[in-house]
Structure formats: C-alpha cells, structure tokens
Homo-oligomer: A and B are copies of this chain.
Amino acid sequence: MARQERAELTRVAIIRAAAEAFDRFGYAGTSLSDITASAGVTKGALYFHFGSKEDLARGVIEEQHARAMALVDRLVKQGVSGLEAVIKLSYEFAEQLVADSIVRAGIRLTLEYGTFENPIIDPYRSWIQATEDFLSKAIEENDVRPTVMPDRVAQFIVSAFTGVQLVSQVLSGRRDLQQRVDEMWELVLPSLVVTRKIPHFRSVAAHAMAAR
C-alpha cells in the first residue's frame, strides 16, 4: 500500500500546484512546467496521473465540486432550515473561496470553460440545484413567500454571488468579500422572505460568519 500512498501524495501535490496556477493565470495562461516545477514533480509523473492538461483541469474542477458538495451535505445533516441553509451556504462558500485555491481554481476554470466547447457546467448546475432545493424547503417552512419561483431565484442567487465574488476579487483581491455578501443579502432578502421574518434572517446573515 506504500506504493499507492506515495502515488496519492504525488497526485495531491500536482492538483494543489495546478490549482494555484490555474487560479492565478487561468487555464491557457498556465504551463505544465509551472505546475511541475512548483509541485516538485517531473513531467512524466504528471502524465502518469493525468492524460492531458485538460484532464488535469478536470481533476481540479472535480475536487472543487466535491468540496462544495461537502458544504451542502453538512448543511443538510445539520438540519438547519431551508433559508438558513441558503444563506449559510453562501458565506461558507465565500470562505472556501478566500481560503482554498482549489476552490478558486475550480470556479475560474468552470467559468473559462464556458467559452469552450463541451462546457463543464456540472459544478454550477449542482450548486444551483442545491440552492433551489433549499429554497423549496424554505417555502414549505413558510420562511419564503410562496410566490417565489425556486428555480429562477436559485439561478439569480448563484449568479449574483458569482458576480459579487468576481468584482470583489478584481477590486480588492477578495478582502471585502464577506461584507459584499452581507450587502447582497441585505438587498435580496426583502423580496424573498415574508415580512415579519426579515429581521430574523438578517441576523442569520449577520451572524453567519461570526458563528464560525
């Protein structure tokens, strides 16, 4: 098993180095030499684990996808209410984005690939789907107005978050990301939540980070 352990270690090192580079320079702007150099690995090793550059990018995206889904699963397990889950998901995702270059690389690659052929929309679709499910649950729980259409709103929330995160990155290197997410909920909550519960969920948003 020592063999496999070492192989796994190498694989992880490559993914990590690749993510760092993809995050910084994008797919086309990253060279495999950059990656092998900073991972301390030879080209041969890289090509043993990944058949091509695209394959490697796909590996990074999958890893990011797994991490995002882990957030969702945890929220489901914690049994929090639907709307609370939507809100917390956004903050926790933001936190991943700041802390984890694999997550950053994953979303950057997903966005870039949108321009290519055979788009890799799975990660996005899953994220939107999870948000939609949480929203549906929130309607059942009488937290969100019944007139809200969960699919449309889920798409908007994910979109808005994506934009917020991008602009935060461009303008402040993501240093003010959390505050911008606060801003987002401030503006969006009133359209979703039944009036008397707005204050409650405002504080959920406000404390989402503090609690962590």
Contacts and interface: CB of A to CB of B under 8 A. Distances in A.
Interface of A: 23-29, 110-112, 114-115, 119, 121, 124, 152-153, 155-156, 158-171, 180, 183-184, 186-188, 190-192
A183 B26 contact: no
A183 B154 CA distance: 11
B155 A25 contact: no
Q: Is the contact region of chain A dominated by helix, strand, or loop, or is it mixed?
A: helix
Contact of A28 (B25, B167, B187): B25
Contacts of A159: 160, 163-164, 166-168, 180, 184
A112 B170 CA distance: 9
Contacts of A192: 187
A111 B188 CA distance: 24
- Identical chains bound together, number: 4
A171 B180 CA distance: 25
A1 to B, nearest CB: 19
A167 B115 contact: no
Nearest to A27: B29
Given A24-B115, A29-B27, A124-B171, A183 B156 contact: yes
Of listed A111, A167, A190, A192, residue having the most chain B CB within 10 A: A167
A112 B186 CA distance: 28
B155 A162 contact: no
A155 B180 contact: yes
A207 to B, nearest CB: 20
A44 to B, nearest CB: 12
Nearest to A161: B163
A106 to B, nearest CB: 14
Contacts of A152: 183
A167 B124 contact: yes
Query: Which 6 A-B residue pairs are closest in the complex by CB-CB distance?
Result: A163-B163, A114-B170, A28-B29, A28-B28, A162-B163, A159-B163
